[in-house]
Amino acid sequence: MAQALPQGVRHIPDFLNRAAQEALLEDIRAVVQAAPLYVPTMPRTGKPMSVRMTNCGTLGWVTDKERGYRYQPVHPVTGEPWPPIPEPLLALWQQIARYEAPPEACLVNFYEAGAKMGLHQDRDEQDFDAPVLSVSLGDTCLFRVGEKTREGGTVSFKLSSGDLVVLGGEGRLAFHGVDRIYPATSTLLKNGGRINLTLRRVTLTCLPRKIS
Ligand code: SIN
Ligand code: FE2
């Protein structure tokens, strides 16, 4: 039997059908044309990550040796503003995240056969009330998710093309990562690989009103 997922972590398999995946892939191709994938580097060590990245939205998540993890409104290589988040992703946020404010950032991760992502928390946002919504396209991966501390146990399961993951509520700060990609498990991407799209709210939606 499949192991239970930590509280607040949802896996929605096969949410997008093939036609929806193809349409979304076209949108992401246009995003990558405007904002090319680049090789992010780890804070302090400057070690290159195996995943290539870009973003769409008003803010994009970036990392480099000098300035570490952060959000910024422009691409770190081109200096251009990120392209807008494609409409189908905004609709998906409305349908699944059901959060009052729209997502500001959509991180685009591209994994080649040997790429992986270490266990981490998404905690560079100011708003932890909004869930994190992620979409998988292309080759299947082995995803791992745990608790709010690194010491907590983890569960692993496969994410296939068209699957969604939601980290919300109790699960918003759950540690998660990608242990491996299973090459040639999808025909969506001509040259193989996996794309993950992560939608996030970054800034606080409403500030307390001043009482005069
Ligand atoms: C991430 O945590 O940024 C990516 C997760 C994934 O690739 O599924
Ligand atoms: Fe993450």
Per residue in 179-197, pLDDT (tens digit) is 999 999 999 999 999 999 9
The number of the ligand nearest the C-alpha atom of 178 reads 1
* Residue nearest to ligand 1 atom 6, measured at CA: 196
Measured in angstroms, how far is the CA atom of residue 83 from the centroid of ligand 2?
21
pLDDT of residue 89: 98
Ligand 1 proximity of 198 Cβ (cutoff 6 Å): yes
Average confidence score pLDDT of the chain: 96
Ligand 1 proximity of 143 Cβ (cutoff 6 Å): yes
- Give yes or no for residue 3 having a pLDDT over 90: no
Atom of ligand 1 nearest to the CA of 136: 8
If pLDDT is split at 50, 70 and 90, which confidence band does 169 have?
very high
- Give yes or no for residue 1 having a pLDDT over 60: no
pLDDT of residue 208: 60
pLDDT > 90 fraction of the chain, expressed in percent and rounded: 94
The number of the ligand nearest the C-alpha atom of 137 reads 1
Measured in angstroms, how far is the CA atom of residue 78 from the centroid of ligand 2?
24
Per residue in 123-159, pLDDT (tens digit) is 999 999 999 999 999 999 999 999 999 999 999 999 9
- Give yes or no for residue 85 having a pLDDT over 70: yes
31-39: long-range contacts at Cβ-Cβ below 8 A with a sequence spacing of 24 or more?
Answer: 31/56, 31/83, 31/86, 31/108, 32/108, 34/80, 34/83, 35/60, 35/75, 35/78, 35/80, 35/82, 35/83, 36/75, 36/77, 36/78, 37/108, 37/110, 38/75, 38/76, 38/77
The number of the ligand nearest the C-alpha atom of 197 reads 1
Residues bordering ligand 2, an ion, CB closer than 5 Å: 122
Delineate the domains of the chain, giving CATH numbers in brackets: 9-200 (2.60.120.590)
Per residue in 98-112, pLDDT (tens digit) is 999 999 999 999 999
- Best residue among 69, 172, 182, 196 to mutate for probing ligand 1, ranked by most atoms within 8 Å of CB: 196
Per residue in 52-71, pLDDT (tens digit) is 999 999 999 999 999 999 99
What is the pTM (predicted TM-score) of this model?
Answer: 0.95
